[in-house]
């Protein structure tokens, strides 16, 4: 009953098909703020503020056999650390054009476009969102993104909006009871992590 009240029947039907969940970073996994600090040696580093609820969501999806990944125009080392720590399948960074990574992931994962969900918030996410089966965005996304999103999320960016998408998909696919059963015995996140495929646009060869 809760699912039907919160999400449209169309969104639920789209969520039932999803086998891969991809996301942008800034403005989705973060609140879009960019934080820099300078080391004593004079190097400048970017620091990302990620959300723990989203972190558990990546574990839940992996446990349920759903692949995950990031396609971002950024290149912060903290993003690569986060992707590997959570056992994401894919990390494509420095990609201002995100269609190439999407097409590569479709081949590597052996899935169709309608079996992919993507969460984005800005104009460079638009081409991907127009092609995937479930396009989602936070409430603070640009108006052009909202126009093409199948779902505008209730949870703000950087505060667990990826978790909202993960729970929607798992509930729509009938996997939520299994997730709760694993939680009850402390087994969330225990599925084997595969090595994250990390692709830098500067080294891109499709």
Within-domain flag for 206: no
Q: 150-180 pLDDT, tens per residue?
A: 999 999 999 999 999 999 999 999 999 999 9
Average pLDDT of the segment spanning 88-95: 96
CATH of the domain at 53: 3.40.50.1000
Within-domain flag for 152: yes
Within-domain flag for 31: yes
**Residue range(s) defining the domain that contains residue 165:** 2-201
Write phi, then psi, for 77 (nearest 5 degrees).
-55, -30
Within-domain flag for 27: yes
Number of domains in the chain: 1
Sheet order of strands, 90-93 included? 151-152, 134-137, 116-119, 20-23, 67-71, 90-93, 197-200
- Could you tell me the pTM of the whole model? 0.93
Question: Where does residue 93 fall: left (phi above 0), alpha (psi -120 to 50 degrees), or beta otherwise?
Answer: beta
Q: 121-150 pLDDT, tens per residue?
A: 999 999 999 999 999 999 999 999 999 999
Write phi, then psi, for 134 (nearest 5 degrees).
-140, 105
């Amino acid at each position: 009953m809760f699912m039907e009240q919160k999400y449209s029947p169309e969104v639920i039907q789209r969520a039932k098909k999803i086998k891969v969940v991809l996301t942008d970073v800034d403005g989705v996994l973060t609140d879009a703020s960019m934080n820099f600090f300078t080391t004593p040696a004079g190097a400048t580093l970017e620091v990302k503020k990620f959300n723990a609820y989203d972190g558990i969501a990546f574990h839940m999806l992996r446990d349920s056999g759903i692949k995950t990944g990031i396609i971002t125009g950024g290149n912060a080392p903290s993003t690569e650390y986060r992707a590997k720590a959570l056992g994401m399948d894919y990390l494509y960074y420095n990609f201002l054009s995100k269609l190439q990574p999407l097409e590569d992931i479709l081949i590597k994962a052996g899935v169709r476009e309608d079996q992919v969900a993507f969460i984005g918030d800005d104009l460079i996410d638009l081409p991907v969102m127009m092609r995937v089966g479930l396009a989602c965005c936070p409430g603070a996304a640009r108006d052009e993104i909202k126009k093409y999103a199948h779902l505008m999320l209730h949870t703000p960016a950087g505060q667990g909006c990826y978790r909202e998408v993960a729970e929607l998909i798992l509930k729509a696919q009938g996997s939520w009871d299994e997730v709760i059963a694993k939680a009850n015995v402390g087994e969330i996140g225990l599925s084997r992590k595969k090595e994250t495929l990390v692709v830098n646009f500067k080294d891109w060869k499709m």
